[in-house]
Structure 1
Amino acid sequence: MSTSNHAQDAQDRYFMMLAIEQAKQGLYTTRPNPAVGCVIVQAGVVVGQGFHPKAGQPHAEVFALKDASAHAVGATAYVTLEPCSHTGRTPPCALGLIKAGVQRVVIAGLDPNPQVAGRGVKLLEQAGIDVTVGVLTEQAEGLNRGFLKAMRTQMPYVRLKIATSLDGRTAMATGESKWITSTAAREDVQKLRALSGAIVTGSETVITDDPQLNVRSSQLGVPAGQVPAPMVVVLDRRQRLEHSLQSDYQLCRRLDTLYWRNDDLTALLKDLVSEYQCYDILVEAGASVASSFLSQQLVDELIVYQAPCLLGEKARPMVAFNPLSLSEQLRFKISCHEQLGPDLKLTLYPL
């Protein structure tokens, strides 16, 4: 196995980018499986391509090899994640590549899933196939942050979303908050939900806003009905809510809503991975819940939608903790910023 670096051949980078674009087509539909793309190249020409559309359906390599047909013999396969080596609901993709007669396989990154974890590469190499690992690894891993983190640490990737005014307020003192941000920002939140295996909120948010926390967008590139519905978790330490078909609250009428009634958020996150295969978690809640996740250093990514308005000092704050000195502040690195309608979206990572 050879390992690529930043000087990797331009051709490999080009075709791996095409494979990444293929993988993106399954971004919202593959949970709990990772989104994977594959491109088959013969003499510098793409002869086959495919992506993994949904758990239980064939993997990306299968679709790409079928597309390439006999042209796969002697070709190079570009895959965004190490081909699997085990039999689950589908046969091992590494064996499929071997059987098809490909000559070389270029892989963005190894699969940390213990069922794979280098075994796919080993099978390919034992069959005499030239394997290169490490082409556009960072870009490919960005598609599957939750899956990769869960396989490596048994903890999910946690995104915290906050919609706020310029002065850091999320609602009026009465709780009125619909709507601070624009339609464009709220549409973007639909993408975050579609990426998520579970959405975590607080009982106060349920009582105040009566949210649905579902995926209903028509602008995802796939019908909303094809997106696996995110599980909803309500933090309810005071046991103010319960399942009831006659409940006043929409989430309580959902029989699959999970109520979490203790303070151990780490235990919750571990359970979501081990018991429910939820690898990407979105926190949509008020200041208290947001602060709990932040102060316990459980947030991997903070997404702030900031509207160009001022709500005043009596409005509700975006967080509910009070550091006593600058040494206790929580600092972040801005990864990207973009304008959505009139609003600003900031994506930040904890330092």
Structure 2
Amino acid sequence: MTDGLTTRVVEDETDWDALRGPWDALYRSSPRASTPLDFQWLRCWWEVYGPAYGLGGLRIITLWRGETLAAVLPLYVDGGKGAAMAVRCLRFLSTGEAEYEETCPDYLDLLHLPGEGAACAEAAWAAVNGLSWDTLELLDLPGDSPLRYAGNAPPGMKVASRGVCPVANLEGGFEAYLQQLSYKTRKRARQEIRKVEQAGAQMQLATPDESAAYFEDLVRLHQARWTSEGKAGCFAAPRFTEFNRRLIDAWSGTGRVVLARLALANEAYVVLYGFVTGAKFDLYQTGVGTVEGTAIYSPGTVSNLLLMGALADRGVVRYDFLRGESAYKKSLTSEGCELISLHCFRGSVRTMVDCLVRFIRRAVRKVLRVMTRR
């Protein structure tokens, strides 16, 4: 027990499912609530990705004050596909996948009650320090996470920047947002919106019955763009596609998931897909095509602007583009949130063997490259 907190580490799916009610109540009140900390997101990920990546098992740290769930830190052990001497990496749930099928969740963190951040971070690290693991990799926390500043973090923990999430401030409504932009960007935004109106195109938000069709449009447009550049596209990964289908099925009709499309003559040319948490929208994926026969120059940009207007009318005050260096994101945003990662390793036999194997592999590859040049 730390500072009046009781710690329980959940390793069984049945015990995890029994936490759904307390978890949802914590999520609704937590200042750290984000899309990938929602119980539904994490449970879907575990069902789809867990059999491939979670062989080391769940390690969900829960902290309680009496009968009240005060905080959760959703972790699992990546057991290296079950190999006997594989390095046991402690990770956030919904991270650790191969690059081609990763879900890229931003704003993972310690989910805690208001005013409990510091105490719960200390208790969470105490629990982490008591677990069996070889390496720790926690990705994409907000830069001000209480986990970053707790005094009992694992020895040797390193903090690294993961980039910045560009955010558009919609407080005061869409017109007030436009006034924050540069004169040139604001003028271009208004021109593009007028072009959409003149072309007869519309920004449409999916109803629950339309969500599946909008998602198929998203996949089609997204894949067409990436395959035209000789790349696979994220929806080529079956697990990634299945994960998102499950989320949409679970959240359709709740207001959590947003699927919006720019359509002309009932044909989709742009689809935007994201999630609402509180008064914040996260833009998760896009599919952008060319609106043939019109003067619309930047269909993706203008679609974001139109969606901002629609969401602002619904009370959304932050439109988060999530991580990325796209020029259009920078031009449309007024602030940013830094993300960080936390890393450390223990000097176990497993980590030493892993380092040796990696060294030998690099040496062999180097020798082979030299030999092929002769």
- TM-score normalised according to structure 2 size: 0.28
1 or 2, which has the higher helix percentage? 2
Higher relative contact order (CA 8 A, sep 6+): 2
Report the TM-score when normalising by structure 1.
0.29
